[in-house]
């Protein structure tokens, strides 16, 4: 018996030594730590404070920013905090609130802890200071600064919270509760109560179905006297029965003189139909994925926007304003090289040739050219759309030191590119202006630029876009052989298409943009949704020739602008109006 015990002790000691060597000895308070820590990483969404323990009562020991990943060491099972490897901290480790980071890897396999160490008095690491860069000097025809006229300030009585960055407002005091709305930095809400067990604040939220929501305490600044604010220890929060928020479908008025007044019939029929379709597919305002649509009947002038006045990343759709500005400033026939640059930009969406057009517009300065495009859009009254610098053509290219613009559109919800933004109805009205100019010399372009843009040039613009063939998006929702004059675009989180469809029963403008708060928007999903929206529009305008289903297509692998018919059209001195 004694020999057995000694043997057992020797075995146990060997096991402990092995565990020590492998670094997997169980730590007090840690659950399930018998295997090596998996490779899981956390990266800040913007910036995030790091603390010495899992809660805001622990001192700040540092700050991390987007662009650097840190290895996750453990997760807390009682509060939503992660411990990461952070060598500048005294212990080489620090805690971060999970809603402030993006996690890569299987977080469920990371060892879990349930203890709370005593708060220490670690000296906080001050955040880095930033010196704003000076915007570029004004240029000829530079865009004017656009600013919102702020409404009278709303007085909020009592103590408040102000968000220090983008923040999710949730239905309960934990990240497991659904987000009600994502609000930008600087949003202020009235405090209703504090939670006695969790570091969350109950606030008044007008957008919430319940009139209130919860925000994490470490991402807000608390203002005012909170000594009389009540506390709650409730742990059960009944969620409201939610119904999808309807999109805003509104009638639009043309931005040029003498245009037909819209009747509103299009909004009440096609607009309502598209609204319901998007809701059925999970695209709703104030959610993680949503869409905007603009449609204009070029026969009657009736139009609508669905979920309008939102600024999206301009993608390649801002190449339409570049096209217009190019013709506005080139008051002579195009050379063969210029015709190629236009065709390659509009058909093949090549950024290199687009930047060469900007060089021509800016008289050898592409930065000047971009800002002249913005000035053109402002003169047209379409000032929610702008481009402040040339397109990036090299991954990791250093940004040009230019400023951006504040417009009257919502520039937060779709997280648009700071320097290249577009509002769908702006692009729609610009397309309508090109069409009217090409058809009879009237409309927005000839009204604002009577001496700079001709009817022939407008027809050349249409022929340049007519050569764009991608077999998806707008093209997928119309019968084969239909003339679709359009420009498409896509970036990581935003996809769009804008064009003129010429059918047997008339022409119409269609612009649709889809956004999702993600690092990569699924093309297969957006292609289906965009194609179906296009089909709904086609069937509305062509009831005697309806399409039973949108057509799946494949984007061509290659694009050859030099051999296209667009080149000869751009060099022609006479062109017919494009027809069905």
CATH code: domain of residue 468: 3.40.710.10
Asked whether the beta carbons of 113 and 31 are under 8 A apart, the reply is: yes
The angle subtended at Cα 184 by Cα 180 and Cα 190, nearest 5°, is 65
Residue 403 included in any domain: no
Note whether 44 and 105 are same-domain residues: yes
Q: What is the DSSP string of 450-512?
A: TTT--HHHHHHHHHHHHT---SSGGGGGS-TT-EEEEEEEE-SSEEEEEEEEEETTEEEEEEE
Cα separation, 259 vs 200, in Å, equals 54
Asked whether the beta carbons of 385 and 433 are under 8 A apart, the reply is: no
Kindly state the helix (H) or strand (E) to which residue 103 belongs, with its residue range.
strand 101-104
CATH number of 82's domain: 2.30.30.40
580: which 2 tokens? 């069905």
Number of domains in the chain: 3
Pairing verdict, β 303-306 and 289-297: antiparallel
Which is nearest to 429 in space by CA: 575, 299, 303?
303
Strand-pairing partners, residue 297, are 508
Q: Which domain holds residue 30?
A: 20-113
Residues in the chain: 580
User: Taking the C-alpha atoms of 12, 16, 19 and 24 in order, what is their torsion angle to the nearest 10 degrees?
Assistant: 110
Strand-pairing partners, residue 250, are 305
pLDDT for position 356: 97
Kindly state the helix (H) or strand (E) to which residue 74 belongs, with its residue range.
strand 69-76
Residue 122 included in any domain: no
Which is nearest to 77 in space by CA: 100, 102, 110, 37?
110
pTM of the model: 0.63
Note whether 78 and 197 are same-domain residues: no
pLDDT for position 141: 61
- The conformation of residue 235, written as its DSSP 8-state character, comes to -
Note whether 220 and 264 are same-domain residues: no
What is the chain's pLDDT, residue by residue, as a tens digit (580 residues)? 333 334 444 444 444 444 433 333 333 334 333 334 447 888 887 778 898 998 877 888 888 887 778 888 888 877 778 999 888 788 889 999 887 888 877 776 778 887 888 765 434 333 333 333 333 334 446 666 544 334 344 556 789 999 988 788 888 888 777 777 778 888 899 999 999 888 899 998 876 767 788 999 989 999 998 888 888 888 777 666 555 545 578 887 788 777 777 888 999 999 999 999 999 999 988 788 999 999 999 999 999 999 998 999 999 999 999 999 999 999 999 999 999 999 999 999 999 999 999 999 999 999 999 999 999 999 999 999 999 999 988 877 766 667 888 888 999 899 999 999 999 999 999 999 999 999 999 999 999 999 999 999 999 999 999 999 999 999 999 999 999 999 999 999 999 999 999 999 999 999 999 999 988 899 999 999 999 999 999 999 999 999 999 998 999 989 999 999 999 999 999 999 998 8
Note whether 422 and 520 are same-domain residues: yes
Q: Which of 231, 262, 290 is the last residue of a domain?
A: 231
Note whether 178 and 226 are same-domain residues: yes
Note whether 201 and 325 are same-domain residues: no
Cα separation, 56 vs 547, in Å, equals 58
| Number of C-beta neighbours around residue 138 at 10 A | 10
Residue 12 included in any domain: no
Note whether 317 and 388 are same-domain residues: yes
Note whether 26 and 87 are same-domain residues: yes
- The conformation of residue 310, written as its DSSP 8-state character, comes to B
Q: Which of 82, 113, 144 is the last residue of a domain?
A: 113
For residue 246, CA distances in Å to 241, 243, 414, 561 come to 15, 9, 18, 42
Radius of gyration of the chain (CA): 29
Residue 544 included in any domain: yes
Note whether 185 and 96 are same-domain residues: no
Note whether 54 and 183 are same-domain residues: no
Cα separation, 477 vs 537, in Å, equals 8
- The conformation of residue 549, written as its DSSP 8-state character, comes to S
Note whether 437 and 494 are same-domain residues: yes
Note whether 313 and 164 are same-domain residues: no
Residue 13 included in any domain: no
Strand-pairing partners, residue 249, are 306
Q: Which of 173, 203, 231 is the last residue of a domain?
A: 231
pLDDT for position 15: 41
Asked whether the beta carbons of 201 and 220 are under 8 A apart, the reply is: yes
pLDDT for position 229: 86
Kindly state the helix (H) or strand (E) to which residue 326 belongs, with its residue range.
helix 319-329
Cα separation, 165 vs 130, in Å, equals 16
Q: What is the DSSP string of 160-217?
A: EEEESS-EEEESSSSTTSPEEEEE-TT-EEEEEEEESSSSEEEEE-TTSTTSEEEEEG
Where do we find the tokens 């064009």? Answer: 499
């Amino acid at each position: 018996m004694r020999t057995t015990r000694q043997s057992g002790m020797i075995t146990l000691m060997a096991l402990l030594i092995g565990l020590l060597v492998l670094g997997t000895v169980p730590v007090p308070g840690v659950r399930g730590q018998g295997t090596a820590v998996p490779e899981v990483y956390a990266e800040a969404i913007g910036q995030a404070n790091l603390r010495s323990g899992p809660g805001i009562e622990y001192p700040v020991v540092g700050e991390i920013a987007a662009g650097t990943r840190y290895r996750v060491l453990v997760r807390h099972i009682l509060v939503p905090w992660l411990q990461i490897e952070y060598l500048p901290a005294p212990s080489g480790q620090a805690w971060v609130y999970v809603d402030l980071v993006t996690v890569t890897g299987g977080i469920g396999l990371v060892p879990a802890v349930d203890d709370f160490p005593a708060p220490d008095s670690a000296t906080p690491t001050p955040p880095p200071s930033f010196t704003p860069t000076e915007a570029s000097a004004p240029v000829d025809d530079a865009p004017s600064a656009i600013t919102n006229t702020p409404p009278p300030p709303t007085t909020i009585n009592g103590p408040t919270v102000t968000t220090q960055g983008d923040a999710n407002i949730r239905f309960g005091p934990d990240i497991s509760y659904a987000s009600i709305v994502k609000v930008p930095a600087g949003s202020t809400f009235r405090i209703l109560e504090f939670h006695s067990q969790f570091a969350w604040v109950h606030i008044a939220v007008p957008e919430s179905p319940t009139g209130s929501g919860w925000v994490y305490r470490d991402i807000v600044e608390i203002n005012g006297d909170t000594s009389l604010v009540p506390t709650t220890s409730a742990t059960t929060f009944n969620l409201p029965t939610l119904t999808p928020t309807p999109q805003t479908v509104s009638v639009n008025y043309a931005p040029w003189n003498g245009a037909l007044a819209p009747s509103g019939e299009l909004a009440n029929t096609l607009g309502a139909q598209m609204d319901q379709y998007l809701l059925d597919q999970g695209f709703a305002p104030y959610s993680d994925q949503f869409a905007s649509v603009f449609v204009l009947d070029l026969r009657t002038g009736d139009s609508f926007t669905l979920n309008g006045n939102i600024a999206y990343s301009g993608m390649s759709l801002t190449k339409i304003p570049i096209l217009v500005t190019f013709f506005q400033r080139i008051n002579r026939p195009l050379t063969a090289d210029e015709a190629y640059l236009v065709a390659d930009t509009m058909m093949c969406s090549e950024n290199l040739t687009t930047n060469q057009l900007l060089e021509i517009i800016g008289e050898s300065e592409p930065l000047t050219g971009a800002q002249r495009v913005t000035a053109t859009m402002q003169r047209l009254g379409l000032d929610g759309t702008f481009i402040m610098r040339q397109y990036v053509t090299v991954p990791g290219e250093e940004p040009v030191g230019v400023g951006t613009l504040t417009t009257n559109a919502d520039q937060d919800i779709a997280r648009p590119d700071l320097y290249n933004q577009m509002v769908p109805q702006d692009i729609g009205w610009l397309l309508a202006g090109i069409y009217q100019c090409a058809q009879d010399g009237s409309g927005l372009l000839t009204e604002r630029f009577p001496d700079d843009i001709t009817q022939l040039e407008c027809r050349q613009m249409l022929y340049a876009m007519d050569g764009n063939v991608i077999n998806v998006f707008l093209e997928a929702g119309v019968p084969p052989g239909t003339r679709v004059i359009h420009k498409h675009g896509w970036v990581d989180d935003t996809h769009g298409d804008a064009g003129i469809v010429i059918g047997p029963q008339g022409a119409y403008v269609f612009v649709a943009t889809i956004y999702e708060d993600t690092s990569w928007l699924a093309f297969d999903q957006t292609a289906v949704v965009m194609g179906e929206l296009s089909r709904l529009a086609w069937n509305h305008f062509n009831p005697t020739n309806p399409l039973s289903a949108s057509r799946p297509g494949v984007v061509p692998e290659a694009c050859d602008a030099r051999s296209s018919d667009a080149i000869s059209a751009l060099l022609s001195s006479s062109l017919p109006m494009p027809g069905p």
